[in-house]
Copies of this chain bind each other. A is one copy, B any other.
Amino acid sequence: MRVGIIGGSGFAGSTLAQILTFHPDVELTYISSRRYVGKYIHQVIPNLHNKTRLKFDLPENDLIEEKCDIIFTAVPHHTSHEMIPDLLDLGLKVIDLSADYRLKDLKKYNEYYGNHSSPSLFKDAVYGMPELYREKIKNAKLIAVPGCQASCAIYALAPLINENLIDRKKIIVDSKTGSSGSGASATEASHHPIRANSIRPYKMTGHRHTAEIEQELSNICGEDVKVGFSAHAVNLTRGILGTIYSFPLNEIDERTIIKAYRKFYRKEKFIRFRKMKAGLFRLPDPKLIMGTNYVDVGFELDNHIDRIISLCALDNLVKGTAGNATQCLNIIAGFPQEKGIKQIGMFPY
C-alpha cells in the first residue's frame, strides 16, 4: 500500500511520517511541505535520521496521483476543504486530519470555523473513530480524523451516554493538554519562558471541539447532548487528561458503570480500562500512554454530591491524531488494526 502525506512538517503530519516510515505493510512514497520542499524529511523530523531518504515535495496532484493509493491531508482547516474535492476526484481515498469534515451540520461548521466550500461531502465523510464507526470506515472514501481533545472526551463519555446513565445536558469536560496540541508554529503564547510552568485556562468557553463531542454523543443516544468544555494548557509537551464530570440520572453503583465501560470497549485493543485498587497509577494519567496509540479510561463515583468523575488519557499526536489516522488506514486496507501502532512507550516517561 502506497501512502502519502500532504502537510508533513506540522506535528500531525510529522507524527504520521514517523509512524508510517515503520509500518510494515505500508510504503510512505510521498510527503509534501511547501516550506521545506527539496529537503530530506529527517532534516525537519530529527527522529527519522538514517531511517528514510524521502524528501519533501510540493503538494501537486499529479505527483500524488502517481505515487499514492491513499493520501493523508495534515493541513489546517480551510486548506483541507479547498484541496480534498480534487483529491477525491482523482480516485484517491483521503484521510483528513483537519476539522473540515468532522461535522455533519453546516451551521455548526460555520459557527465554529467559518465558511466551507464543499459541504456536500459532509454526508459521505466518516468520522474516523474506529470505536464508533469501524464498519463505515472500511469503505469510506473520506475519513475525518477526530480532534484530539474531542476524542478524549468522547472516549470517557460514550459508554455512559450509550447506557443512558447521566444527565445529557449537564456535562462538564475539564481538559488538560500539552503544548504540542497547538501545533508546530511558534507563537508568543508558545514561547518557552511564557508557556512553561503554567496552568493556563486558555479556552474556558467556545472551544471548537465542543461541536464534534456533542455531535457524536448525540448520535450514540439519539438525543441532544450538551457539553460544557473547558481547555487548560499544562506544563507538558504532549498528552491530554480529560476529567469529565457528569450527574447520574438515577441512583447508580460502581458495577453498573464498570459494566458500561467494559461492554462498550470489549473488542477495542487500544482502549484500556484503568481503575486499580492499589498502586501509584490507579486512574488514567497521560504519563502512562505517552508516545502510544493507547487510551486509558477510568472513573470514580462520588456519592457525596452524586456525580461521576470519568477520566481519559491519550497522546494528542498519536491516538489523538496520527496514530488514530493510521488505525483508520489499517481498517480501510484490511490490515490488523494494531499494525504499526502497537508500540508502547517507555516508562518512566
Chain A residues in the interface with B (C-beta under 8 A): 11, 14-15, 18, 22, 43-51, 169-172, 174, 176, 178-180, 184-201, 204-206, 210, 226-228, 230, 232, 234-239, 241, 243, 245, 247, 272, 274, 276, 278-281, 283-288, 290-291, 296, 300-302, 304-305, 307, 309, 311, 313, 315, 317-318, 343-349
Contacts and interface: CB of A to CB of B under 8 A. Distances in A.
Contacts of A245: 172, 174, 228, 230, 245
Given A238-B348, A302-B204, A304-B205, A285 B188 contact: no
Interface core residue of A44, A197, A206, A278 (most chain B CB under 10 Å):
A197
B234 A344 contact: no
A300 B285 CA distance: 27
Given A46-B347, A172-B307, A190-B192, A284 B197 contact: no
The 7 closest A-B pairs by CB, nearest first: A198-B287, A186-B191, A179-B192, A291-B346, A192-B195, A47-B347, A180-B193
A311 B198 CA distance: 14
B199 A196 contact: no
Contacts of A280: 188-189, 194
A193 B230 contact: no
Given A191-B186, A317-B346, A197 B237 contact: yes
A197 B290 contact: yes
A234 to B, nearest CB: 6
A187 to B, nearest CB: 6
A235 B299 CA distance: 22
27 contacts: A14-B347, A46-B288, A47-B345, A50-B272, A170-B170, A171-B305, A179-B196, A184-B191, A186-B187, A186-B190, A190-B191, A190-B193, A191-B191, A192-B237, A194-B348, A196-B237, A199-B241, A199-B313, A200-B285, A201-B311, A204-B309, A228-B245, A230-B243, A235-B235, A237-B348, A317-B346, A345-B345
B18 A307 contact: no
Contact of A300 (B189, B204, B272, B286): B204
Contact of A346 (B18, B179, B185): B18
Given A186-B188, A234-B199, A291-B346, A205 B309 contact: yes
A50 B15 CA distance: 25
A71 B239 CA distance: 36
B307 A228 contact: yes
